[in-house]
Amino acid sequence: MKITLTKPDDWHLHLRDDEAMTSVVAHTAERFARAIVMPNLKPPVANTQLAADYRQRILDALPENSGFTPLMTLYMTDLLTSDEVIRAKQSGFVHGIKLYPAGATTNSDAGVADIRKLYPVLETMQRESMPLLVHAEVTEPEIDIFDRERVFIDRHMTKLRQEFPELAIVFEHVTTRDAVDFVRESNGPIGATITVQHLMYNRNHMLAGGIRPHYYCLPILKRETHQEALIEAATSGNSRFFLGTDSAPHPQHAKECACGCAGCYTAHAAIELYTEIFEAENALDKLEGFASHHGPDFYGMPRNTERITLQKRDWQVAESYRFGKDMVVPLKAGQTVHWQLITEQGG
């Protein structure tokens, strides 16, 4: 069996930098025409000039004639100004500004401590049609890690939606039924990305019978009922939900240790694994909307004209891939994937 789709885009991706980036970017460029590139480098990509430089390094790292377009984002710090938002908009290559609550995840130390101080900047973003991309987890240590997304909705997301009714908001990597319901029921322009690991797994996969560090990402995998809500949302055809892998490579040694860091590497088989999920749900007819249409429609960009073909054929994922001077262990390392990318046809 084969299926052909409009070439998809990845609306949430970590590419890292330097040789590490060069090792992984081809996986994404083979499968996706464009990707929203997250700005959590060290130091963060906090202004338009840094985004321009990073964009050039990505273009230089791409394989010849890949046709891939990186869509850049800025990292929102407490120092972000309205002038910078306007500069970013005028650049034409910055497509969103990412809000990381300070300390929420990998390289988020420079994130936002008090969102209310940034209200004038959000005002400008709303006026300039610059989307706000949100890592929606509270960071208070007393809040249980499994509740951090739900509590963020109550404390911040509802308020943000009310105060800035015209601001385009992307609720990144939704992981709970609460988030799915919020996105479904909100007024105004709102979308949500869904990762493939949150569709494939729940916290039992990560924790029962041994700790599997390669399933550890943030927001953390939740219980099965949340996984079911995500599958339902992704395969429903609702255009507010779209593909965002959050593929986040880390060196093997930084994952497989006493305090392993957060992130799943999925770029090597992303569209193939999403296809498995949609097939299992008898929803292959909804895959193209989720993977290739809803994202560009939300961001106000043209849909891609190229196409990709996937064939139902088993292949085995490598145990690891080179990652700069290190190795990265991909999701499903050494296991079988049931769909394979076969061709790319001109559009």
Q: Is residue 39 a contact residue for ligand DOR (CB under 6 A)?
A: no
Bridge partners of residue 22, in order along the sequence:
none
Question: Residue 16, annotated ligand binder?
Answer: yes
* Marked catalytic residue, from 114, 246, 285, 326: 246
The single residue among 10, 178, 246, 276 that binds Zn ion, judged by CB under 5 A, is: 246
Q: Is the CB of 38 or the CB of 341 nearer to ligand DOR?
A: 38
Return the residue matching tokens 């906090």.
46
Residue 54: Cβ within 10 Å count: 20
Annotation-wise, does 15 bind a ligand?
yes
Q: What is the DSSP string of 268-304?
A: TSHHHHHHHHHHHTT-GGGHHIIIIIHHHHHHT-PPP
- Where is 314: in which H helix or E strand? strand 307-316
CA dist., res. 241 & res. 281, Å (int): 16
Q: Which is nearer to ligand DOR, 135 or 214 (CB)?
A: 135
- Residue 40, marked binder: yes
Residue 44 to residue 310: CA distance in whole angstroms: 36
Q: How far apart are CA 35 and CA 11, in angstroms?
A: 5
The DSSP bridge pattern shows strands 2-6 and 307-316 to be antiparallel
Which CB, 15 or 283, lies closer to ligand DOR? 15
The only residue of 157, 217, 230, 291 in contact with ligand DOR, by rule CB under 6 A: 217
The item of ligand DOR, Zn ion, none sharing an interface with residue 217, based on CB under 5 to 8 Å by kind, is ligand DOR
Whether 179 has a binding-site annotation, put simply, is: no
Amino acid at site 308: I
Under the binding rule (CB under 6 A), the answer on residue 199 touching ligand DOR is: no
Q: Does 206 bind ligand DOR (CB under 6 A)?
A: no
Q: Is 246 a catalytic residue?
A: yes
DSSP helix/strand/coil, 221: coil
What is the SS3 assignment for 199?
helix
Closest CA to 252 of 239, 236, 263: 263
Minimum gap (Å) between residue 173 Cβ and ligand DOR: 7
Should residue 218 be labelled a site residue for ligand DOR when binding is judged by CB under 6 A? yes
Is 246 one of the annotated binding-site residues? yes
Should residue 248 be labelled a site residue for ligand DOR when binding is judged by CB under 6 A? yes
- Residue (8 or 39) nearer to ligand DOR, CB: 39
The one segment of 96-104, 240-248, 266-274, 289-297 that binds Zn ion by CB under 5 A? 240-248
Does 137 help bind Zn ion (rule: CB under 5 A)? no
Q: In what order do the strands lie in the sheet with 2-6?
A: 2-6, 307-316, 336-345
Pair 243, 290: CB distance under 8 Å:
yes
Paired tokens of 189: 């322009």
> Looking at beta carbons only, is 100 or 182 nearer to Zn ion?
100
84 binds Zn ion (CB under 5 A): no
Cβ at position 17, least distance to ligand DOR in Å = 12
338 C-beta neighbours (distance < 10 Å), count? 16
Residues marked active site are found at 246
Residues belonging to the binding site are 12, 14-16, 40, 98, 135, 173, 218, 246, 250, 262
Interface contacts to Zn ion, rule CB under 5 A: 246
Interface contacts to ligand DOR, rule CB under 6 A: 14, 40, 105-106, 135, 217-218, 248, 262-263
Residues belonging to the binding site for substrate are 14-16, 40, 135, 218, 250, 262
